[in-house]
Structure 1
Amino acid sequence: MYVATYVKNIIYDVLKLKNQYNWKPQFYCKNDICTSINNFYSTYFVDIPDINGNSTSCITYTCIYENIDSNKCNDICDVNGIDYSCQCSYDTECLSNKCYKNHCVFNNETPIVHCSDSYSDKLFLGKSSYIYCGKPPNNPCEQGDECSSKLCMHNKCESVQDYGPSDSNGVQTGIEGSIIFAGIFIIIITLIIIIICCYCCKRRRNNRNQSNNT
């Protein structure tokens, strides 16, 4: 899947972003076009550009059918002390593309695509980061791979990972990896030298034995 984001009218493939230690990249995507998010406002709303770069505001706040029917969903969303309506009238107003009883609802047919920094812990190399795309936080899930955070608990996608490497960890990891590889290289060379020495000693011993026998 090609997932791109408009940044200053230039398309970048967000899946190619790796080891972004100085920021925690997050993206919301629609029709394979993504927009970066980095503020609390994006918890409820996001501006998604089309192929021509024209932005459309969409509601990211979503509920499940049961909570909507029992009036447990927010009608108003508080963003930095300012109240905004979270209600919808048309499917197109929702990033999930599904409006049910004036609320955006989770839609398995066209699930919201959320991409965020994820981390792997590689042997000898420490933690590294990469972009992973899936369902956003609070979406229903059955397993971690469905979620952008790769974390599914109590059938709900958890928040994005926050235990990854820092900016200094990137440099530190590189140094530690180099030291470890150098150590392994030295050990291998030492073992090779020991084996060669043992082989040579054995040959000399065999040659002496043959000479004595003759």
Structure 2
Amino acid sequence: MVTRNLFCFIYIGLLFTITYSLTIREIIKRDPISFETYKDGECYYCKDDICVPCSNRSEFDTVIIPDKEGVNKTYITEGCSSKDIDLDLCFSKNCTADSECLSNKCIKGHCSTDEDNPIIQCQYVRTIHSNPIFGDAKGYKTHCGLPAGYKCNSNKDCSSFNCERYTDYRICGEPDDGGCHSACSLGSAFVMMAAVPIYIIVFIISCCCCCCYKHHSQYRKYIKYSALAFVVLSPIPWIVLLSYDIYDMTEDASVTGHVISIIILVVIATIIAFLICRFWKIKKEDEDDEIPKVDNENLN
């Protein structure tokens, strides 16, 4: 009877581990659709590569995480910096041993953030807050890192992907879902829809200018400056949008779309510079043609 009860206990423990815990790698590979509860603050606490949902945390700021043998252990999730503990500014749940803390560090009856053994948390967060023309406009992904309150150097260090400045150092804050949404995408689409016909019109006018330039020499001066004005003004929608993307590029965000934007800007600038040089060269040639040639034989 005792053996049967022991077997049932082990079976239930293993079943709990399989059902309610995941590894960090499994969490990162999860389908984003399964993170619909992100809006309600869904995240994961991890210990020794075993993770459980933050929703399992009790009202006493504790969470149960099974170890590698399937034995459930209760950990205190909240922690304070050693400085706050020394100043008696920590109000987290009291601890009596390091093993009671998820950070594995108990100081003066409070769990302390341990830089050498930090708590690992995984969240489905937004990593891009601008709206690049190319690439993911929102950049949602599962990111694992330090929980809120830990010191950080960049957004990549935090599970929330939000490293905020706090007095003379920076700490991990809450996830930031602000930035450009569907309205921005519609705005960019509208601008691009307006820009494409403009480019077609500019192309047709440029072709007409080239034809007129050859057959109507008396209007060459006006044709040159009109064509130059079209060349300089037509890329303005692209330049405005792409410059806005680059200006709003957030720290540590995915830069694939922004790199393409930079390349396009460089190409546009190169084409404009080439055409301006070309027009300048044509202007010099026309000025040389207008200078009357002196007949040396008649002078003699």
- Give the aligned residue type for 2:75: C
* Cα RMSD (Å): 4.0
| Structure of greater Rg | 2
Q: Which residue of 2 aligns with 1:191?
A: 199
- Give the aligned residue type for 2:149: N
Is residue 14 of structure 1 aligned with residue 28 of structure 2? yes
Q: Which residue of 2 aligns with 1:80?
A: none
1:122 to 126, 130, 152: 130
Q: Deviations 1:144-176 (Å, cap 9, x if unpaired)?
A: 4343332242346354135447xxx9xx61x75
Question: How far did residue 95 of structure 1 move?
Answer: 0.8
1:113 & 1:184 partners in 2: Cα distance?
A: 43
Give the structure-1-normalised TM-score: 0.63
2:58 & 2:176 partners in 1: Cα distance?
A: 19
Q: Which residue of 2 aligns with 1:135?
A: 146
1:179 & 1:65 partners in 2: Cα distance?
A: 48
Is residue 49 of structure 1 aligned with residue 63 of structure 2? no
Q: Deviations 1:76-105 (Å, cap 9, x if unpaired)?
A: x4xxxxxxxx3132x222111223344322
Is residue 111 of structure 1 aligned with residue 118 of structure 2? yes
Question: How far did residue 201 of structure 1 move?
Answer: 4.9
Is residue 65 of structure 1 aligned with residue 76 of structure 2? no
Is residue 153 of structure 1 aligned with residue 166 of structure 2? yes
Q: 1:40 to 1:46 in 2, by over 3 A?
A: closer
1:74 & 1:205 partners in 2: Cα distance?
A: 81
2:200 & 2:165 partners in 1: Cα distance?
A: 48
Question: How far did residue 41 of structure 1 move?
Answer: 3.1
Q: How many residues align?
A: 188
Query: Is the CA contact (8 Å cut-off) linking 1:15 and 1:130 kept in structure 2?
Result: no
Consecutive unaligned residues of structure 1, counting only runs of 5 or more, are 78-85, 210-214
Q: Which residue of 2 aligns with 1:181?
A: 189
Q: Which residue of 2 aligns with 1:88?
A: 96
Quote the sequence identity (%).
Answer: 25
Give the number of the structure with larger relative contact order, counting CA–CA contacts within 8 Å between residues 6 or more apart: 1
> More helix by proportion, 1 or 2?
2
Q: Deviations 1:5-44 (Å, cap 9, x if unpaired)?
A: 9765666323766585652332222223322213773772
Question: How far did residue 191 of structure 1 move?
Answer: 1.0
1:15 & 1:46 partners in 2: Cα distance?
A: 23
SS at match of 1:120: coil
Question: How far did residue 204 of structure 1 move?
Answer: 5.6
> More strand by proportion, 1 or 2?
1
Q: Which residue of 2 aligns with 1:35?
A: 52
Give the structure-2-normalised TM-score: 0.48
Query: Is the CA contact (8 Å cut-off) linking 1:87 and 1:104 kept in structure 2?
Result: yes
Query: Is the CA contact (8 Å cut-off) linking 1:15 and 1:132 kept in structure 2?
Result: no
